[in-house]
Amino acid sequence: MNEHWDAIIIGAGTAGLPAAIFAAERSDKILVLDVAPEIGGTLHLSSGQMSAAGTRLQKEQGIEDSPELHIEDIMRISKNTADRTVAGLAVNNAAETLDWLETIGFQPLPDHPVKGQAHEPYSLKRYVWGENLGKSILAVLKPVFEKAIGSGRVTLKLNTRVTKLVLDEDGAVTGLAARTGGGAEETYSTSAVLIAAGGYVANGAMYKELSGHPAYGDHSYPYCVGDGLNLGLSAGGTAQGHENYLTSFGVVMQSYDVPSKVRCRQIHWPERRMPWEIYVNAHGKRFIREDEPSVDVREHTIQEQPDLRHWIMFDSVTLQEAPPLFADFGADDIKTAAENGEPMFYVADTVEDLADKAGLPVDVVVQTVADYNAAQSRGSDSFGRQNMPRGISEAPFYTIRSQAMSVSSTVGLKVNESLEVIRDDESTITGLYGAGESLGQGAMMGSSFCGGMLVTPALTFGRLLGQRLLPIGDAARAAAE
């Protein structure tokens, strides 16, 4: 083996960067390995929305909040499916993380904090992000991390993929193996490894195996292919969260390929835009009141539909008169895309032809539209929809295929309250720690999306590990001797 390191951090991303920054205050032998050619991980792509209770920002604005209220909100939103211990550890320490980020230059948007945005809202304003989303966080972490490298306390190796953990006969971690960009295999000795290698969304096969659904969206960091979870499992760790898979609602893909980039995003939040359209599933049937107020209900309902899809159906009057259905994609764009036969967009002079073109069962769709038109005339429908401004009656008729997808990994390594990776029998794997999406989103938010509960925990766990949980520095060395 090469020289001995106090700790090795796998991944220079959201969790790995703060871990290295703080670990450098206790040790000058910190090694950070990343398979990518640059640091930052998913922060390059993430919306970077964070939630924390009891922050300086909240206090300045007179918002009385506490970690207790935050965790109660998470348990309410997740219907008690989040892991109270692990999510609680994140929440209890989140304010300090956000305050620290601000001291190194992070600036939330001027009107923040807010209660929510895309996800089920919190009961209090504790949600922030910066102008450049995830990149706003990376922009302030990067100089501090580079300073730690400059001081010689942290060593960074990019283009280096960790392929194996090395264990002793008792199952404790003693090092790891990694493959460099040139293809050489190197081994490194350490008694503390932090898995901060992100999730597995960029690994289509693994995603499908663990969630039961394809990874429809091509929006995850390409280097997050599940190595973190696989490395942890290879050392005896256990995976959790399979039951918590959840998809978000309503994007239109650029192509029929899987994965594909998103072309436009449906404004499906009734508080922002009341729907004029109906939604039908692959059976040609409506499945929800389109103005369902809870985004969590919409997400769970779309998850029960074939291929996580719906078709948004409307007529020419709605196209022209309704408020914009998508952000940055107007009525003329929809019309042109449909007339040109571009993927996901369909137009026809009759409802029959429309269903046929979209590959939907014609007779069922005709009946669904007739039933909706009758309900709209009556002013009530069987789903309890409140907002029905008009029926679907004026040719040409339109439909757009909308896809549900997720950009994060549900399943992850099980850890204890010290962030040590644990086995099925809850025993710890000595020297192995985890943080970030390698722990899975299910632990933080169960079968729901709770705003900011991936980025903030990743940063927070990285910070805690660097500050105190990783057994490094003089005290740890003395204890080991």
CB distance 7 to 23 below 8 Å: yes
Which residues inside 351-410 make contact with ligand FAD, applying CB under 6 A? 407-408
Which residues inside 457-476 make contact with ligand FAD, applying CB under 6 A? 458
With contacts defined by CB under 6 A, how many residues of the chain interact with ligand FAD?
A: 40
Structure tokens at 10: 């796998």
Phi-psi label, residue 58: left if phi above 0, alpha if psi -120 to 50, beta otherwise: alpha
Contact pick of 11, 67, 241, 431 for ligand FAD (by CB under 6 A): 11
Nearest to 6 by CA among 460, 431, 459, 438: 431
Which residues does 196 contact at the CB level (< 8 Å), separation at least 6? 9, 10, 11, 13, 14, 15, 16, 19, 228, 434, 435, 436, 438, 458, 462
- Please name the amino acid found at residue 194: L
Question: Site mask, ligand FAD, residues 158-177, x = CB under 6 A?
Answer: ---xx---------------
Which residues inside 14-53 make contact with ligand FAD, applying CB under 6 A? 14-16, 33-36, 41-43, 45-49
Nearer to ligand FAD, 351 or 439 (CB): 439
Min CB(288)–ligand FAD separation in Å = 25
CA separation for the pair 236, 275 (Å, rounded): 49
Furthest CA-CA distance within the chain: 82
Nearer to ligand FAD, 162 or 388 (CB): 162
Which residue in the shown chain puts its C-beta closest to ligand FAD?
13
Nearer to ligand FAD, 20 or 162 (CB): 162
Nearer to ligand FAD, 193 or 334 (CB): 193
CB distance 213 to 245 below 8 Å: yes
Q: How far is CA 383 from the centre of its chain?
A: 30
Min CB(441)–ligand FAD separation in Å = 7
Nearer to ligand FAD, 174 or 410 (CB): 410
Phi-psi label, residue 244: left if phi above 0, alpha if psi -120 to 50, beta otherwise: alpha
Nearer to ligand FAD, 263 or 385 (CB): 263
Determine how many CB atoms are found less than 10 A away from the CB of residue 29: 20
Alpha helices (H) along 151-271: 204-211, 227-234
Question: Site mask, ligand FAD, residues 438-457, x = CB under 6 A?
Answer: x-------------xxxx--
Question: Site mask, ligand FAD, residues 197-236, x = CB under 6 A?
Answer: xx--------------------xxx-xx--x---------
Name the residues that contact ligand FAD, by CB under 6 A.
10-16, 33-36, 41-43, 45-49, 161-162, 196-198, 219-221, 223-224, 227, 407-408, 436-438, 452-455, 458
